[in-house]
Structure 1
Amino acid sequence: MATGKQEVQRQRRDISVRRKEEAAQVFSEEAMRSAEEEDFEEIGMEAAHPTTSSRNLRPFKQHLAARIPEAVDDFLRNVLQRVGLCRTISSFEVEWYGSAQKLMTQTLSMAALGVLFVPDALTHRQLIQRQLDTVRRDTDRLRQEVLHAGERLQRMQRERDFYRLQYQRVAEDKNGLMEDLHQLKKHLQSYRPALRRLEDTVQEALGKKMLLSLKKDRILNTTALNQEKPQIKRERRRKSVGSADHTEAPHSKDTEAPHSEDTEAPHSKVIEAHHSEDTEVPTCSRGLETDHKTPAPLSLSYSIRAHKLPISCIHLHPRKLILASASDDCSWRLWLLQAHEEKVGQMVLTGEGHSDWLSGCSFHPDGGKLATSSGDCTLRLWDFSQGGCVLTLSHSRPTWGCCFHSCGHFLASCCADRTARLWDLSSQRCTLTLRRHTASVNSVCFLPFSDLLLTCSADKTLALWDARLGVCTASFQGHQYPCNDSTCSMAGNTVASCDSGGFINLWDIRKSAVARATVDAGPLAANQVAFSPSGRTLAVACSNGLVRVMEVDSLASSSLLGHRDSVQSVTFDHSGGTVLSAGTDGFINVWA
């Protein structure tokens, strides 16, 4: 009974399993049929739209590879039946069909989403055709680019050949020009000695010309003096004859004539000595007469392009209208200032020998020599008659200026080593060193016809020295900025000084404690001051490109605009009616 029941149950279970298998098979066939219909529709759509197939091809391959062949479950059933494991077969079928149902449900859901795709030969051909078309287009494009690149390469090769020929032609021309240049240099070297000889001849001729002019002036002075002597003698004889009796006149004339000559000879020597010492007196007296009148306004008369580099100093010849200029180009030059238009601005003489910039220049009182100071720490004395430098004096540091004594035997200099020195030109050595200033001594000058020496320094003070004793007799304190220059009037009673702040101080030489007047010419520095021969007018060289002309008594000033840059030096002519200025633009301006 038990076995019969078990068989019945087993049969029922087999029937239910078969029914389930048939239902699952029917369901799977319908699902596959619907999926095939959808796949064919999608294939038709992809034929019209090729891009969709390329998108769905990849997931189909993935799911197709993931499916398990259906012969595996039959293989397992046959193995279990052959062994006789019936219960194992029943449990395996239950679990297998349960998993198959789950797998079918997932397959249907994926089919509904359109993931599965069944490819065919048409779709593969279209896909491969598209890829082939793409490759052909890329090939055509690359072929065109290669052709264009070849054409560009040929064009660049032709240009390269052209420029190579041009370069060879230019190189040949260059070599020819270099050979010509070498030949010209050799030719120029052959002319150098002749040029030097010509320059020496010209310099010698100019020196002789100046020496002859100086001798001519001396002859004219002696002639005028000799003409004055008979007049003085005649006047004295007339006075002596008028005071004597008329009856004794012939006898007295015969007896007194020799006596008068003996007594008047000493007087004539005194007059000659006085005239030789006071060579500047007629010029100064004419300046006084002109300055008593109302001065006319000054205007630019003419300009001289003197140097290419800045001019540091100018100085006027004691008796002639010849101006000396010192420049940063290591040279000095003499310029002729005549009333005749054809001679205005003519260079008379030049000299080179310093190895650095020139800071100052000064004429000898006789006008036959010139002293220059330089940044190469030397002073040089130039003799026009000999046509060169006759004396070199050395400092330890750069020199800023120099000045001759009125007798011409002594030369004073100032230096950046905070000293001023007095040189004896006959013995050619330093006889006196003045030490008082605590900074660089920027200017030095002798008071007219005296042994007093005036110095100004960057320590904002001025000092007055006795050159015979070497002692400081007075000190001027009142500047707030370093002093650049100082000078004294021809009368010797007024001192003017200027500083880097643009202030000008006027001092009474007898009262050095306080400045008599202060004038602001700033805001830039005032570089140099110069008195007119009468001492009534003061000219100031300013760094703002102006020349200020100031009346000493009223302190009224006017400005002269004509320089394009800083004005470094200024001076008056012999009459005091003309102002001469020079600056860093290399020009000398004449204001008349």
Structure 2
Amino acid sequence: MASQQGVPTSPLRVLEEALGMNLTAAGETADAVAAEGAYYLEQVTITEASEDDYEYEEIADDNFSIPEGEEDLAKAIQIVQEQATDTQILEEKTVLPSNNLAPEVIEDFLCNFLIKMGMTRTLDCFQSEWYELIQKGVTELKDFGNVPDVYTQNMLLESDIKNLKKDLKHYKQAADKAREDLLKTQKERDFHRMHHKRIVQEKNKLINDLKGLKLHYASYEPTIRVLHEKHHALLKQKMLTSLQRDKAVEQISRHSATSRHMEPQQSYHSPEIRVVPSCEKENTPEGPPQKGLHEAKEQNKSKTKIKNNTKDSEFPTDMKSNPNLYLCKENNCPAKLDYKLNNIFRLHELPVSCIVVHPCKDILVSCGEDHLWKVVGLPRGNVLLTGFGHTDWLSNCCLHPSGNKLATSSGDTTVKLWDLSKGNCILTFEGHYHAVWSCAWHSSGDFVASSSLDTTSKIWDVNSERCRCTLYGHKDSVNSIEFFPCSNTLLTSSADKSLSVWDARTGKCEQSLYGHMHSINDATFTPRGHIIASCDSCGVTKLWDFRKLLPIVSIDVGPSPGNEVNFDSSGRVLAQASGNGVIHLLDLKSGQIHKLVGHENEAHTVVFSRDGENLFSGGSDGTVRMWS
């Protein structure tokens, strides 16, 4: 049937299978025909008696036939296309479609197959006849379908395999690096374990040493306790001796004055000869003789004024000779606790740091962080005077015992004295290296004390305009300073959690009080001076017995810090300005605590009026609130 067609040989396996031919036999026939110049297909039947032992698989295809002649080529192509369509339908049911790849056309598939198999002669025959048909127009390319792009998919799979091999290599490198990091981490872990064990051993050793030191220290505690008791007894004896000495000096002074009046011509120098040596013996460790100066003032006041302009002032030994302004604060009026907010004075643009009440007039002075201090009339709160001069925030202010002068401390490291009648600065003290937190007048009005962030306190002589003494001893910022009423004793509170009592004449620390666990922000005396109140940065307020120098009671109103404490004129009620804006009032007799709520923000300062009827507090919002 193949010889009758006269169609050139095609190596397509589909056609071979359709014709039921053996590739080997077809190849031999094609070679023989090619020698004669023509190509024909012959059917060769291989019997079972053949010497070739190879078993061929027969593929039946009864529906495939190729028409004879060139005219029937279109029909043959149509049949092939139909069979290809059927094959494609069958493949779609069983084979997964390719990933959106354009399959090859039939001629490309055939050419690729022949090239891959090395069948060059068959390829040349196929191409010559194929392109001849295309030129004649017998065959149209658009009528032919496509064959599955198996080879392209194989190439893609090979490319994927290469990429996967690259990824595998990369993962192997990452695994090797991770293995190295793991080994390094294990080594570091072992090192830190050994270091931790060593630290634990050292810690245990230190704990054992600490226990031994505690036991060793415990053996010293009885001795230290005995020494402390002796120390307190000696301090008490020293204080009593000082009081007796002052009384003796006062009696001698009165006796000398009486003798002068009785014998003005004869006994003028004799008392001086008898009294001065005794005074010099007593006052030698404390400072220059004071008795001679006191008598010199009485002899010639004009000469004394001239000397005061050129010499330092002397600390008075007989405080009763000075105006007793501080003791007049003590009165017998009943304690008042039921205060209510009466008025709000908006005086400063920045927080109010301090408020003081005039000892005689119905006015108060407030200073703030806006570099200003103001004199305010009561009860309306009208501003009478404003002071300018400091270049930084004001921390504290204090009125002269007579009430006509004002001392202010500032963050610009200076202390300034002001004349309240004119409002101008009359004197500036410079000497601190950091901000000055507090200032206080001496009862005589000749000295001003200041405390600073530079851990020191200073005593300034108003007449000689210089620093008379610097108090060293605190290890941290000195936050407040105050004179004991009508005496030469100073009280300081510090951020090193201690209170210190100083002798202003010698500049020596007489006693330190410990008990606070946090920075002490403020400390003050009662009007009588027998009790000290202090508050710290965690809201703990402590009361101390100044005569025994021992703590009395501790009140915790924290955790907000206590910024300032002040007693009323009766010495029975203690007010504390708290960081949460609450004013705490403590009744010392009953132990009750009352709260005044009115500040929106932090309360910085609190002070009572002279009669105790009103209470004034300043806050961080720049306002002063009056409670009645």
TM over 0.5: yes
> How far off is 1:583 after superposition?
1.4
TM-score, normalising length: structure 1: 0.56
Q: Specify which of 498, 508, 524 is matched with residue 545 of structure 2.
A: 508
Q: Answer yes or no: is the 8 Å Cα contact 2:67–2:73 preserved in 1.
A: no
Superposed CA offset, 1:106-148 (max 9, x none): 98xxx9xxxx94269xxxxxxxxxxxxxxxxxxxxxxxxxxxx
Answer yes or no: is 1:346 the counterpart of 2:382.
Answer: yes
Distance across 1 between alignment mates of 2:474 and 2:391: 28
Q: Specify which of 485, 500, 503 is matched with residue 522 of structure 2.
A: 485
Answer yes or no: is 1:572 the counterpart of 2:616.
Answer: no
Number of the residue aligned with 1:427: 464
Number of the residue aligned with 1:326: 367
Answer yes or no: is 1:496 the counterpart of 2:533.
Answer: yes
- Residue 40 and residue 337 in structure 1: after superposition, are their counterparts in 2 closer, same or farther (change >3 A)? same
SS at match of 1:345: coil
Q: Specify which of 482, 501, 507 is matched with residue 464 of structure 1.
A: 501
Number of the residue aligned with 2:330: 284
Distance across 1 between alignment mates of 2:349 and 2:426: 27
Overall identity of the aligned pairs, in % = 37
Number of the residue aligned with 1:297: 338
Q: Answer yes or no: is the 8 Å Cα contact 2:372–2:386 preserved in 1.
A: yes
Q: Specify which of 436, 440, 454 is matched with residue 417 of structure 1.
A: 454
Amino acid at match of 1:416: L
Q: Answer yes or no: is the 8 Å Cα contact 2:386–2:423 preserved in 1.
A: no
Answer yes or no: is 1:370 the counterpart of 2:406.
Answer: yes
1:43-82 matches, cutoff 5 A: 59=105
Distance across 2 between alignment mates of 1:355 and 1:391: 15
Distance across 1 between alignment mates of 2:513 and 2:37: 140
Number of the residue aligned with 1:445: 482
> How far off is 1:471 after superposition?
2.5
Q: Answer yes or no: is the 8 Å Cα contact 1:312–1:359 preserved in 2.
A: yes
Superposed CA offset, 1:437-493 (max 9, x none): 121111001111222111111111111122223232222111111111000001110
Q: Specify which of 140, 143, 150 is matched with residue 118 of structure 1.
A: 140
SS at match of 2:450: strand
Number of the residue aligned with 1:315: 356
Number of the residue aligned with 1:84: none
Superposed CA offset, 1:30-71 (max 9, x none): 651414767999xxxxxxxxxxxxx999948869999xxxxx
Q: Answer yes or no: is the 8 Å Cα contact 1:57–1:119 preserved in 2.
A: no
Q: Answer yes or no: is the 8 Å Cα contact 2:398–2:408 preserved in 1.
A: yes
Amino acid at match of 1:414: S
Q: Answer yes or no: is the 8 Å Cα contact 2:537–2:561 preserved in 1.
A: yes
Distance across 1 between alignment mates of 2:559 and 2:458: 33
Number of the residue aligned with 1:306: 347
Distance across 2 between alignment mates of 1:402 and 1:540: 19
> How far off is 1:581 after superposition?
0.6
SS at match of 2:516: coil
Amino acid at match of 1:458: A
Answer yes or no: is 1:581 the counterpart of 2:617.
Answer: yes
Distance across 2 between alignment mates of 1:384 and 1:322: 12
> How far off is 1:573 after superposition?
0.4
Distance across 1 between alignment mates of 2:458 and 2:517: 26
Number of the residue aligned with 1:380: 416
- Residue 36 and residue 365 in structure 1: after superposition, are their counterparts in 2 closer, same or farther (change >3 A)? same
- Residue 358 and residue 36 in structure 1: after superposition, are their counterparts in 2 closer, same or farther (change >3 A)? same
Q: Answer yes or no: is the 8 Å Cα contact 1:354–1:376 preserved in 2.
A: yes
Superposed CA offset, 1:528-562 (max 9, x none): 10011111000001111111000112321111111
Point out where structure 2 has 5 or more consecutive residues left out of the alignment: 1-31, 44-65, 83-100, 113-118, 143-318
Number of the residue aligned with 1:405: 442
Size of the aligned set, in residue pairs, is 368
Amino acid at match of 1:400: W
- Residue 506 and residue 117 in structure 1: after superposition, are their counterparts in 2 closer, same or farther (change >3 A)? farther
- Residue 117 and residue 371 in structure 1: after superposition, are their counterparts in 2 closer, same or farther (change >3 A)? farther
Q: Answer yes or no: is the 8 Å Cα contact 1:326–1:358 preserved in 2.
A: yes
Distance across 2 between alignment mates of 1:524 and 1:22: 113
Q: Answer yes or no: is the 8 Å Cα contact 1:466–1:473 preserved in 2.
A: yes
Number of the residue aligned with 1:9: none
Amino acid at match of 2:350: L
TM-score, normalising length: structure 2: 0.53
SS at match of 1:34: helix
Number of the residue aligned with 2:68: 27
Q: Answer yes or no: is the 8 Å Cα contact 1:581–1:588 preserved in 2.
A: yes
Q: Answer yes or no: is the 8 Å Cα contact 1:413–1:420 preserved in 2.
A: yes
Superposed CA offset, 1:248-300 (max 9, x none): xxxxxxxxxxxxxxxxxxxxxxxxx9898134555532xx2233xxx351111
> How far off is 1:500 after superposition?
0.9
Amino acid at match of 2:330: C
Q: Answer yes or no: is the 8 Å Cα contact 1:60–1:117 preserved in 2.
A: no
Amino acid at match of 2:344: S
Answer yes or no: is 1:557 the counterpart of 2:593.
Answer: yes
Q: Answer yes or no: is the 8 Å Cα contact 1:405–1:446 preserved in 2.
A: yes
Q: Answer yes or no: is the 8 Å Cα contact 1:312–1:360 preserved in 2.
A: yes
Distance across 1 between alignment mates of 2:489 and 2:533: 15
Amino acid at match of 1:533: S
1:203-242 matches, cutoff 5 A: none
Q: Answer yes or no: is the 8 Å Cα contact 1:284–1:575 preserved in 2.
A: no
- Residue 326 and residue 484 in structure 1: after superposition, are their counterparts in 2 closer, same or farther (change >3 A)? same
Which structure has more helix as a fraction of its residues? 1
Q: Cα RMSD over matched residues?
A: 4.0
SS at match of 2:613: coil
- Residue 423 and residue 60 in structure 1: after superposition, are their counterparts in 2 closer, same or farther (change >3 A)? same
- Residue 451 and residue 63 in structure 1: after superposition, are their counterparts in 2 closer, same or farther (change >3 A)? closer
Number of the residue aligned with 2:227: none
Amino acid at match of 2:352: I
Distance across 2 between alignment mates of 1:303 and 1:374: 25
- Residue 279 and residue 59 in structure 1: after superposition, are their counterparts in 2 closer, same or farther (change >3 A)? closer
> How far off is 1:424 after superposition?
0.9
> How far off is 1:99 after superposition?
5.3
